Structure 1
Amino acid sequence: MGLEEVGALQSRLGRSPDLEVSFPQALLRRQLPVIEPLLEHSPNTSVGFTAVLTCSSAQGSRQAVREIPLERIGMESDAPYFLPRQVPRSVRQCAHPGLALHTVQEIARVKVLSLSHTLATLCENACLL
């Protein structure tokens, strides 16, 4: 099943008022044009971001963060993988959910929002899942 078929299925499911649909950040690599219409037409669809967002090579993901409304963004720890760029491997060998604050900081920086507003909105989003 390709991304378009998955998107069509999730789009249909996302129209259900009591079902939340989330796309992982990995699907954003060169796929934002496919996901944007799903966000537009499916009110329960969101996109989750991991610490990969903190890497210098994640320009596509940062562009997606700029374009996707904060209310449609979720957090993913993907622990024990994806250490934030700010955490040296000499200090920590694997990720844990507490390191997600680095991703929240990056989202706030990219969207030019305060950390407190970004964190509060992402917490509200998580409560809706």
Structure 2
Amino acid sequence: MNTYIDIGINLTNKQFYNEHDEIINRALNHGVEHMILTGTSVKGSKESAKIAGEYPDILFSTAGIHPHDAKSFNNESINELRKLLKQDHVISVGECGLDFDRDFSPRSVQEKCYKAQLELAIVVDKPLFLHERAAFERFNEITDEYLSQLPEAVVHCFTGTLNEAKIYLDKGYYLGFTGAISDERRFKQLEDVIRYVPLDRMMIETDAPFMLPKNIPRTQNRRNEPSFLPYVAQTIARLKKIDISEVADETTETARQFFRI
């Protein structure tokens, strides 16, 4: 059986309440041997770290403040995240970045919060789990200020253009892909992106319970979960015209090296 690493799941989401064992076991049964829980606020990062600690060597977590939650950023936030990142199973700084699509937090606050987390990543020397939506230019202006000092970084749930992907790759970033790549109606441009991006610069994720792959059988549960990760790999294999086992092997090894698992 092919094995995979899901680099981003939102297991603290209320849709998964009281189902952690079942969700993790289903994922393991489908070859998803490691899952990384996304921290999107100080509170959420603490919850993710606690859950991950209950499933050693299977679950890991990130610690960060999503741009939607930047309005919660205060003087203690970075200290709280730094404490979490001292734990071995808390393996990445993020999810952090900019989101000018929804603007759930003021842009100036998003930028301040993002810069603080870039500085934190440099200090703790753990890789970055980045979010950018409708903010490509400003995101790069800010990140470029720190680029020479930053640890490795992945732009997760990439849904941008081929030109944006090329720029990210040129800067040394990795790209994370979700079930969005199978959505030909909303994200048709991702087909060219997948064909272009080298396999050793991509990682795969479900972003569960969001971003449900469009290529799952209609008989399946319509809520996304990590057991559906092979459908993301299947789409990459189809677009690149390679075997799914190659996608599984390469993306798993890339994620292992990147997150130091």
How far apart are 1:35 and its partner, in Å? 3.5
Mark the CA change 1:34 to 1:86 in structure 2 (over 3 Å): closer, same or farther.
closer
Inter-partner Cα distance in structure 1 for 2:167 and 2:146: 14
Q: Kindly provide the CA deviation profile for residues 25-76 of structure 1, in whole angstroms up to 9, marking residues without a partner as x.
A: 4441xx3323312311x23x11111111112223211110111111111112
* Aligned with 1:72 (options 201, 204, 207): 201
Corresponding residue of 2:179: 51
How far apart are 1:12 and its partner, in Å? 5.1
* Aligned with 1:24 (options 156, 167, 177): 156
How far apart are 1:14 and its partner, in Å? 4.8
Unaligned runs of 5+ in 2: 1-106, 108-134
> Which protein is bigger by CA-based radius of gyration?
2
How far apart are 1:90 and its partner, in Å? 5.4
Q: TM-score, normalised by structure 2?
A: 0.43
Inter-partner Cα distance in structure 2 for 1:114 and 1:90: 25
How far apart are 1:13 and its partner, in Å? 4.3
Pairwise CA RMSD of aligned residues? Answer: 2.2
Unaligned runs of 5+ in 1: none
Is 1:122 equivalent to 2:245 in the alignment? no
3-state SS of the aligned residue for 1:113? coil
Larger helix proportion of the pair: 1
Larger strand proportion of the pair: 2
Inter-partner Cα distance in structure 2 for 1:50 and 1:115: 15
Partner amino acid for 1:33? N
- 1:61-100 maps to which residues of 2 (within 5 A)? 61-88=190-217, 91-100=220-229
Inter-partner Cα distance in structure 1 for 2:253 and 2:202: 10
The alignment covers a number of residue pairs equal to 124
Partner amino acid for 2:165? I
Mark the CA change 1:26 to 1:120 in structure 2 (over 3 Å): closer, same or farther.
closer
Partner amino acid for 1:106? T
3-state SS of the aligned residue for 1:59? coil
Mark the CA change 1:56 to 1:27 in structure 2 (over 3 Å): closer, same or farther.
closer
4+ aligned runs moved over 6 Å, structure 1: none
Inter-partner Cα distance in structure 1 for 2:159 and 2:142: 15
* Aligned with 1:34 (options 164, 182, 186): 164
Inter-partner Cα distance in structure 1 for 2:136 and 2:154: 13
Corresponding residue of 1:5: 138
| Amino-acid identity (%) | 23
